[in-house]
A and B are shown apart, each in its own frame.
Chain A
Amino acid sequence: GAVVSQHPSRVICKSGTSVKIECRSLDFQATTMFWYRQFPKQSLMLMATSNEGSKATYEQGVEKDKFLINHASLTLSTLTVTSAHPEDSSFYICSARAGGNDYEQYFGPGTRLTVT
């Protein structure tokens, strides 16, 4: 089946620093990748959708200058949380879609970010 990896799985950083999270599709080419955030005991919240080679589409209320998304290839997308603050502490999950008639989203294992 389609496998998506995410790195790192956990990261702790100091307030004001930036953190980069990588999302890779290991055995398929992902035309579209999605970034979600999930706070404890809450549902998934879509942050942005990115298509390879084009700018990401951000959901309302998500600061594009704070959450930088790069989808440089069909197998890699990165999310950079810039100038992180404690309120950015959350579970960040990426998913990837192969495209064509395959609309299933294959999820990465998630990244737990803690900002101290």
Chain B
Amino acid sequence: GQNIDQPTEMTATEGAIVQINCTYQTSGFNGLFWYQQHAGEAPTFLSYNVLDGLEEKGRFSSFLSRSKGYSYLLLKELQMKDSASYLCAVLDSNYQLIWGAGTKLIIKP
């Protein structure tokens, strides 16, 4: 079966750095997405990785290792507005998105 694992909840302090991990086992791989979702709102796109390595975009970076079936989202200089759920999703061999359950990130002052 297809499976994506990410922690249910994480807590971090304003101004700090947090890393949200995602591991996956899917039938084929055509890329991995990270989305941010605030409560009561739709998801918004953060990043897309299809090759191994680190992609940096401002305070957010995303890393991928295809051989390990592993990705992480790194958030730097945390702000209170970063409190949200972070969803990992893999594009499988049929180009269908397989979604993780999401990681709820709580930022404390």
Contacts and interface: CB of A to CB of B under 8 A. Distances in A.
B58 interface: no
Contacts of B101: 42-43
B30 A103 contact: yes
Interface in A89-116: 91, 93, 103-110, 112
Chain B interface mostly helix, strand, loop or mixed? loop
A93 B97 CA distance: 15
A46 interface: yes
A26 interface: no
Interface residues of A, number: 17
Contacts of A93: 42-43
B24 interface: no
A44 interface: yes
Interface in B18-66: 30-31, 33, 40-45, 48
Given A43-B100, A103-B97, A110-B41, 4 more contacts: A34-B97, A91-B40, A93-B42, A109-B42
Interface of B: 30-31, 33, 40-45, 48, 85, 87, 91, 95-97, 99-102
12 contacts: A42-B101, A43-B87, A44-B87, A49-B96, A91-B40, A93-B42, A104-B33, A104-B45, A106-B45, A107-B44, A109-B41, A112-B40
By Cβ-Cβ distance, the 3 closest A-B pairs, closest first, are: A107-B42, A43-B101, A110-B42
